[in-house]
Amino acid sequence: MSGMTSGGTGDEPIVYIVDDDDAMRHSLEWLLTPLGLAVRSFASADAFLAEHDPGRTACLVTDVRMPGMSGLELHEELVRRGAVLPVIVISGHGDVPMAVRAMRTGALDFIEKPLNNQLLIERIQQALRLAHTRREETRETDAIRARLAALTAREREVAQLVAAGKQNKAIAHVLGISLKTVEIHRHNAMEKMAATTGADLARMLTLVGGVG
C-alpha cells in the first residue's frame, strides 16, 4: 500500500520512504515513528512524485531497484526539478557503480541492506538538519529576489556598484549622474533591500547571482 502516513499532522519535517517492499516500508515506519518523526511511505517512485510537496522540509529514503523508475532515476528526476530535499539511497544489491552514481548526483549517503538501524537514524537526522538549512536558504534567496524586484532600474544599477565597493563619487561618474542623485538612489536601494552596509548588500547579491 502506498501513501501510508505515520506520525505528525502539521508542517513539521517529514521522512519520505520509497520502497516496493511492503515489509521494508513497514519496518522503517516502525523504526522512525517512535522517534517523533513524521513518516510517509510509497511503493513506487511515481506514487511519490505524484504527491511530493517541494515546499515541505523533508528527506527521502529510497530503494534502488524498484519496478518502473529506480531509486537512482528518482533522485536524478528530483535534481532536474530543482528539489532541495536530501536523499539517502538504500539497496540490497548495491555495488560500486551504483554508489558512485548516487553520490555524484548528490545523494547524502548510499547504504546497503541489511540496514544498520542506528546508522540510518543518524543519517536521517543529519538529512533533516540539512533540509532545514536548505529550506531557510531558499526562503532567504526568495525574499532577496522579491526585494530586488521592487528596485527601479537605476536603483539596481546603483546597488550593483555599491555591492562592488564603489564610492558615491565613482558611481556618479560611471552612471553619468549627479552625486546627489546617487545618494538618493543608494538610500532607496539600501532601504528596499534591508541592507545596512555595502558588504551586506554584496552578500545578498552573491546569494542570488547578482541583480540579473
Identify which of 35, 52, 15 has the alpha carbon closest to the alpha carbon of residue 130. 15
Q: Which domain holds residue 16?
A: 4-139
Same domain, 180 and 126: no
Same domain, 129 and 159: no
Please report the beta strands in 64-199, taking only residues with DSSP state E, as ranges in sequence order: 87-91, 109-112
Domain count, the chain: 2
CA pair distance 11, 4, nearest whole angstrom: 16
Give residue-wise pLDDT tens across range 35-87: 999 999 999 999 999 999 888 899 999 998 899 999 999 999 999 998 889 99
82, 114, 139 - which closes a domain: 139
Same domain, 35 and 108: yes
Q: What is the pLDDT of residue 47?
A: 96
Low-confidence ranges of the chain (pLDDT < 70): 1-11, 93-95, 211-212
CA pair distance 138, 131, nearest whole angstrom: 10
